[in-house]
Structure 1
Amino acid sequence: MRSPDPAALEDQLRGVLEPLVLEAGLEIDAVEVRTAGRRHAVKLVVDLPESSSATGIDLDVIARLSRAAAAELDPHEHLIEGSYTLEVTSPGVDRPLTRPRHWQRNFLRLARITLVGGDTLEARIGRAGDDRVEVALPGRKPELRELAYTEVENAQVQVEFKAAPAAEAALLGADDSSSDDSSDSNSSDESTDSANEENR
C-alpha cells in the first residue's frame, strides 16, 4: 500500500492527533511529514490556545503528549507505510508570525518584516489585534507604525539578549517590567521543548 502524498497524510494525522492535543489543553500549530524512501519523519507542533495566559509549554507536558501520540498512531499504522519517527515540539523563535496570536505573544520583541512588494523593515512588536499590529521603528526617536496583516508577506522574531530600548517600549505602551520580561523570554525561546518517539 502506498502512503498518501504528504499534504493528505498531514491532514489525516491532524484528525487522529487533534483530540489528544486538545485533551492536553493545547492546540495543533502544524503537522509536518517528511519522507525519505520508506522512512517518514512526523513533526507535531503544538501551542497554547489563544485564551491561555501561560508563556510557555512545560517539557513534561510535551513528553507526555509525545508518548500518548505515539500510542494513538499505532492502531493507524495503515496511514504511514514503513517506519517513522514522531517529534512533538512547541514553536521556536524561528516560527514565522502568521496568525494574530503569534504577534500578540511576541509583544515587545524585535521582528524582521517583509512587506508585500518586497520592502523589509526591522520593528518592535506592539499591540496586536485581529486585523493589524502596531510596531515601533527603531531610531533615536522611534516611530509608531500600524501594519495590516494583509501588508505582511513574512515576519520572524529576531533573537536579542537585552531588554527593549526604553523609548520603544514606552512608545508601545509598555512599562519597565514588561520590557524586562520580554528580554528574558527572548533568550529562553532560543531552544524549543521537544520529545521524540521512534516507531516501527
Structure 2
Amino acid sequence: MDLAQRIQKMITPTIKDQGYEIVRVQITGAKHPRLQIMAERADGTCIDVEDCATISRSISAVLDVEDPIEGEFTLEVSSPGIDRPLTRLQDYQTWAGFDVKIELKTGIDGRKRYLGRLLGLDEEQRILIECEEDEPHTLAFEDVQRAKLMLTDELIAAAATEQTK
C-alpha cells in the first residue's frame, strides 16, 4: 500500500462521519509535497468552499496525530469538478452515458488509450466503453491507470441540472 492509499484509509472514517466521500487522494512533489484530497457529498453532489474548509480542518486533525508525511506539506481539499476523474468502480456506473478518456497501465493488443462513450459495467464489474471506430471494449478496473470524464456540452448541461435540484 502506497502513502496515498494509507492516508486515504486513515482519513476515510472521519470524512464518512461528516457525510462526505473521498474521490481521490494524490501526493505530488518531493521537496514540497502537496496532499490533494478530492471529495464530494455522500449523495454524489459537489462540495462548496465551506465543505472544503470543514474537510480540511478534520483531515488536519487526523494528520497531525498520525503524521504520515515527513516534514512540511501543503493540504489541498477540492471538489472533483465537472470533468472529474473516475477513481472508484461505482463511478463507471454512475457516469455511464457520458464521454470518457481512459488510459491503461499496460496496453491491450498494443492499445493503452480509449476515448468514447462510457456504457457502465458488465455483470462481472468490468468497464464497458464504446469508441467511435470499433466495437465496445471491456476493460478491467484494476488495469486502469487514470480515467476522467470529458468536458462536453452534454456533461455541462447535466451538471447545471444537478445544481438546480
TM-score, length-scaled by structure 2: 0.66
CA distance in 1, matches of 2:102, 2:28: 28
Q: Given residue 20 of structure 1, which amino acid in structure 2 is its aligned partner?
A: T
Q: Output the aligned Cα RMSD.
A: 3.6
Say if 2:118 is the partner of 1:125.
Answer: yes
Give the direction of change, closer, same or farther, for the CA distance of 1:135–1:13 in structure 2 (3 Å limit). closer
Q: How does 1:20-169 map to 2 (within 5 A)?
A: 20-37=14-31, 39-49=32-42, 52=43, 54-77=44-67, 79-92=68-81, 93=83, 95=85, 97-114=86-103, 116-119=108-111, 120-129=113-122, 131-138=125-132, 145=136, 147-149=138-140, 153=144, 155-161=147-153, 163=154
CA distance in 2, matches of 1:138, 1:35: 37
Larger radius of gyration: 1
CA distance in 1, matches of 2:74, 2:141: 36
Q: CA deviation at 1:66?
A: 1.0
Between 1 and 2, higher relative CO (CA 8 Å, sep ≥ 6) is seen in: 1
Unaligned 5+ runs, structure 1: 1-5, 164-181, 189-200
Identity of aligned residues (%): 23
User: Does the 8 Å CA contact 2:23/2:88 hold for their aligned counterparts?
Assistant: no
Give the direction of change, closer, same or farther, for the CA distance of 1:85–1:153 in structure 2 (3 Å limit). closer
Say if 2:157 is the partner of 1:184.
Answer: yes
Q: CA deviation at 1:41?
A: 1.9
Aligned residues: 154
CA distance in 2, matches of 1:18, 1:64: 14
